[in-house]
Amino acid sequence: MKKKLVNNPDHVVEEMVEGIVLADPDKLSKVEGYNVVVRKDSPNEKVALVSGGGSGHEPTHAGFVGEGMLDGAIAGDVFTSPTPDAVFEAIKAVDGGKGVLLVIKNYTGDVMNFEMAAEMAEAEGIEVDHVVVDDDVAVEDSLYTTGRRGVAGTIFVHKIAGAKAEAGAELAEVKEVAEKVIKNVKTKGMALYPCRVPSAEESTFTLDEDEIELGIGIHGEPGTERTEIMKADDILDELLGSVIEDLPYESGDDVALMINGMGGTPLMELFVANRRANQVLEEKGINIYKTFVGEYMTSLEMAGVSVTLLKLDDELKELLDAPTEINIMK
């Protein structure tokens, strides 16, 4: 995969951020000089929520900036942690005096740079706290992480902590519910075809024409197993089986289900995957409270799917159902 709809790879993130803001100019703005997207109406009288990371995972994270979810998002270079400076700018742009919660996906560079930014902000008197999402059950440590990777489950943290903040909760309460989501959300993904970073000549990894990778990360990091292409139902059984046994999710549990496309997967195939996920969960007696099928946490044009479950209690259900401007999370 060599051809891309880009101009200069060096400017692709900046041009993307401009395109995101231009798509919703009444609601969003870009922080001058930084690849940071913020709500136009921030700061306001609530805890502010900020996330970010390397680009290439769109709509994550800038696509989740809006009422009821994030107040700001930092877009690093493609698959590269944003600088502490950029995170610091985002924090300053959205702080309304009630503090800022950073939602960090568990990658070593992200954790380090977000923590440095938090220190810079605290030195200026801004109250900052953070949570680290590590929902990927595939591997315990990885190429870029100590501990598990943060992947599609992060979107549920944005939604639920965002709703809590919008409802007027204090920083400690928003953090607490974010931690509750993190404890109850698990994901596993797979790839059929790799992606290519705009500035690179070659794909981030290679797969043979009859080969797939299970347990893959969102930057082409190795998964748990390379295997011959299987039927969709067998792939789903494998992914969902690993997710279910990890928490574990049990008969009688209520869950939110996310069937997430990795960027290059036709929606047709995601719905075929959703059909099987429904069958498996029904067999296990696990009740689907709400289903999300689409592209949430992508890896450029990688073809593949991830499956996420979030175990819900009454508080999480209410917050998951709370109003948001972000259409794909309604």
Residues 260-279 that bind its own copies (CB under 8 A): 263-275, 278
Would you list the DSSP string of 295-316?
A: -SS--TT-EEEEEEEEE--HHH
Question: 148 with 135: CB under 8 angstroms?
Answer: yes
Under the criterion CB under 8 A, does residue 3 sit at the interface with its own copies?
Answer: yes
Q: Which lies closer to its own copies via its Cβ, residue 43 or residue 264?
A: 264
Tally Cβ neighbours within 10 Å of residue 143. Answer: 13
Q: Which amino acid is at 72?
A: G
Q: Which lies closer to its own copies via its Cβ, residue 257 or residue 319?
A: 257
Total residues interacting with its own copies, rule: CB under 8 A: 61
Under the criterion CB under 8 A, does residue 232 sit at the interface with its own copies?
Answer: yes
Sign of the torsion formed by the C-alpha atoms of 25, 37, 136 and 263: positive
Out of 45, 201, 209, 283, the only residue in the binding site for its own copies (CB under 8 A) is: 209
The whole-angstrom separation of Cα 300 and Cα 16 is 13
The whole-angstrom separation of Cα 325 and Cα 320 is 13
Annotation says 11 is catalytic: no
Residues 12-71 that bind its own copies (CB under 8 A): 12, 15-20, 22-24, 55-56, 58-59, 63
Under the criterion CB under 8 A, does residue 193 sit at the interface with its own copies?
Answer: yes
Please report which residue ranges of 124-170 form alpha helices under DSSP H: 154-166
Annotation says 219 is catalytic: yes
In the complex, the residues that contact its own copies under the rule CB under 8 A are 1-8, 12, 15-20, 22-24, 55-56, 58-59, 63, 78, 192-193, 195, 209-210, 212, 229, 231-233, 235, 263-275, 278, 291, 293, 295, 298, 300-301, 303-305, 327-328, 330
